[in-house]
Amino acid sequence: MTEPASRWNVTGSLARALTIGGVGIAVALAMGRPAVVVLVAPLLVAGALGVVHRPTREPRVFNGLAHRQLHEGQGTRARLEAMDANDVEHVTRAMAPQPYVAMHPADGTVGQLVGPDHVIEPIEVSPRRWGRRMIGAEKVALTTAWGGYRWGPTSLPGRDVAVLPTRSHYRSGGEAPAPIGLIGAHRSRRDGDGTEFSSIRRFHPGDRLRRINWRVSLRHGNLHVESTRAEEDTAVLLIVDALADFGRSEGVGGAESSLDVSVRAAAALADQYVGGGDRVSLRVLSPGGEYAGYGTGTRHLRRIQIVLSRIRPGIPRDVAIDQIDFRTPAGTVVVVISPMLSESLATATVRLVRRGLPVIVVDPLPPDTTPTAYPDAEEEVASLAWRMRLLDRSHLLARLSAAGCPVVPWNGPRTLEEVLRRLARRGPLPRVGGA
Amino acid sequence: MRGGAWPSVWLMRAVVVVAVLVSLLAGVPEGYQPPAVLVAVLTAGALLAGFRPEHLVLSITLGAVVAWWALQLRGELPAAALVAAAAIIVAHTAATVLGYGPPALPVDPALGILWSLRAAMSWTAALAVWAVGRAYTGHGSPAAFWIAGLAAAVVGAVVAGMAAPLRAEEPRE
């Protein structure tokens, strides 16, 4: 990435060989000791050859990563290029360990003899958790032949990499309760140009000839056509509760914290709905207030994933959660991904339900979550406080269920399928009063 | 990795310690017995050098070994001197290999082989000096005369090697 300022220095090895060799020869001459010449002759030869291979030019080194964006668990290569490196025989690289970044080799330290083509083997790195990660910072040292001179170790900076949540390529069979758009994959309540069979009815002017069912038309003596359901898109609002992070995170494939589950669930749902042609928006409840408006397509999905990777948990200071305008057009499916440990968010959710929107709460709290307490807090008190919070939470969840808002634990991309089917069946029925 | 270092690094550290001890004790079969205090001090120095290969401590330790031999041997050239010379260059080489990186860096086998060959090649200089010294022992000429000749030959060879370009200079771009 950059070319640091460094210079060649004599190594301890060369200094040792020349010092002992020189002093040994002097002692042998002064004291008349031929055996001392025998003892120090190899050191003198090694030292002399180190000096012979003294460098004649300053090398330039550059490091870089093959990717600027990665998904959790994906890997990339941290490359190092050396220019003007004809004097270099050996290169040592030591990459700084970073939280949630796996390296190969595991400690990020490699040494390698440099061939005539000056190719330096890359270090493989793989971020294990979503977020912004500084990857590739390392120290580099170059050594000449016979170990006489060393350039560095010098520090090379890393690169800020956006680590996006894991991808899931699942396409849900669940239908949206009230699709309202023009295009998409959800079955509409009205007839139109879709593929799913709706009914056989009498021919009306304007019907397409290829829709005529000739068998039924012959039986009845007049023309009948097969009608199909229209297919429409829907709007989906994903609300991610990043007010706090509960539980331990070990990165992808390991233990998940509540925020890990939330972010990965939001990414999976966004992938699922955007892939189905729906308009998806994301609202994060955090100090940063990350937001992505309604949109479709691959670029919009990438934007949502980047927004998710920027999340930093905390309580927003400038806005009251129960006062937030979530910008939900009629018919929008609202998915609230929250452990519901905040009463204000529960209130906001009930308000959305009362507006007649289909709202689903996805619970990301891992079942074995332990309390996060201050280091000097007593364990028993912390445990008791956590149990009280869980009791509050169960009351909130019961209130939400009573208000007509299903609460489901996150169980992979299929989580919402059955819930959405039930909401779609319930949708057309006449309702008396509000919840 | 154990104790913050790879097995190959521990092996190199052991080589440093053993080589220093061998360089000191090589003359025991021929009656050159170093005092126990010196052995203990130099063992401690070698141990420290194994963990700090770039530190001055190995120079001091090997220098003390050479000094002890200088005090023990006057004009004689026993075969033990060859063994001691081999042990000194092995200790120096092992420390050099250790100095290529932090303890978390395992020793590259290719680098180990390269430096083994270099150590063996360097040791042939000791063999040549020893053979010349043995050949001229008892010729009647003053000892200082042929020692000066040997030293001049070694230093001359070294200076000539340093002055002569081994590699063709590549044109600068």
A12-16, A255-259, B75-79, range with the lowest pLDDT: B75-79
In A, minimum Cα distance to B4 occurs at: A107
Residue A246 confidence class, pLDDT cut points 50, 70, 90: confident
The percentage of residues in chain B with a pLDDT greater than 90, rounded to a whole number, is 54
B132 to chain A, closest Cα gap in Å:
10
CATH number of the domain within which A244 lies: 3.40.50
Residue ranges covered by each domain of chain B = 7-138
B91 touches chain A (CB under 8 A): no
**What sections of A122-257 are H helices per DSSP?**
214-220
A169-173, A224-228, A235-239, B57-61, range with the lowest pLDDT: A169-173
Mean pLDDT of A350-379: 81
Is A109–B100 a contact, with Cβ atoms under 8 angstroms apart?
no
CATH number of the domain within which A56 lies: 2.60.40.10
A11-25, A36-50, A364-378, range with the lowest pLDDT: A364-378
Residues A217 and A201 in one domain: yes
Distance CA A103, CA A374 (A): 32
Give the domain range for residue A213: 186-232
Residues A317 and A396 in one domain: yes
A14 pLDDT higher than 90: yes
A350, part of any domain: yes
A170, part of any domain: no
Determine the Cα angle at A262 with ends A294 and A160, to 5°: 80
A4 pLDDT higher than 80: no
pLDDT tens digits along A157-209: 888 899 999 876 655 555 555 555 545 555 555 566 666 677 788 888 888 88
B82 touches chain A (CB under 8 A): yes
**Tell me, what's the pLDDT at B171?**
43
Is A45–B125 a contact, with Cβ atoms under 8 angstroms apart?
yes
Mean pLDDT of A255-260: 90
A425, part of any domain: no
Pull the structure tokens for residue A33: 């000791």
Residues A116 and A205 in one domain: no
Mean pLDDT of B99-123: 92
Could you tell me how many residues make up chain A?
435
Residues A208 and A252 in one domain: no
**Tell me, what's the pLDDT at B28?**
87
Instruction: From A64, A61, A115, select the one nearest A90 (Cα to Cα).
Output: A115
Is A34–B143 a contact, with Cβ atoms under 8 angstroms apart?
yes
Mean pLDDT of chain A: 83
Residues A39 and A82 in one domain: yes
Phi, psi of A220, rounded to the nearest 5 degrees: -95, -15
pLDDT tens digits along A33-50: 888 989 999 999 999 889
A430, part of any domain: no
Query: What is the domain count for chain A?
Result: 3
Q: Are A188 and A179 in contact (CB under 8 A)?
A: yes
Q: At which residue do the structure tokens 């120090």 appear? A: A40
A298 pLDDT higher than 80: yes
Mean pLDDT of B154-169: 60
Residues A283 and A366 in one domain: yes
Residue B10 confidence class, pLDDT cut points 50, 70, 90: very high
Burial string for B104-134 (b: 16+ CB within 10 Å, else e) reads bbbbbeebbebbeebbeebbebbebbbebbe
A429 pLDDT higher than 50: no
Residues A148 and A212 in one domain: no
Distance CA A158, CA B35 (A): 54
A10-14, A57-61, A370-374, range with the lowest pLDDT: A370-374
- SS3 at position B87: helix
Q: Out of A313-327, A414-428, B151-165, give the one with best mean pLDDT.
A: A313-327
Distance CA A253, CA A269 (A): 19
Is B73–A33 a contact, with Cβ atoms under 8 angstroms apart?
yes
Candidate from B144, B154, B167 with C-beta closest to A44: B154
Q: Are A62 and A1 in contact (CB under 8 A)?
A: yes
Q: With residue A127 as reference, give the H or E element that holds it.
A: strand A123-127
Q: At which residue do the structure tokens 């700090």 appear? A: B52
CA dihedral sign of residues B26, B27, B33, B37: negative
Mutate to test the interface with A, among B1, B69, B172 (most CBs of A within 10 A): B69
**Tell me, what's the pLDDT at B168?**
43
B167 pLDDT higher than 90: no
Residues A356 and A265 in one domain: yes
A92 pLDDT higher than 90: yes
Q: Out of A42-46, A61-65, A315-319, A328-332, give the one with best mean pLDDT.
A: A42-46
Instruction: From A368, A305, A316, select the one nearest A342 (Cα to Cα).
Output: A316
Mean pLDDT of A21-29: 88
Q: Out of A207-216, A300-309, A321-330, give the one with best mean pLDDT.
A: A300-309
Mean pLDDT of A100-125: 87
Mean pLDDT of A16-25: 92
Q: Out of A130-139, A281-290, B57-66, give the one with best mean pLDDT.
A: B57-66
Mean pLDDT of A303-307: 94
Give the E-state strand segments of A319-384 in sequence order.
333-337, 359-363
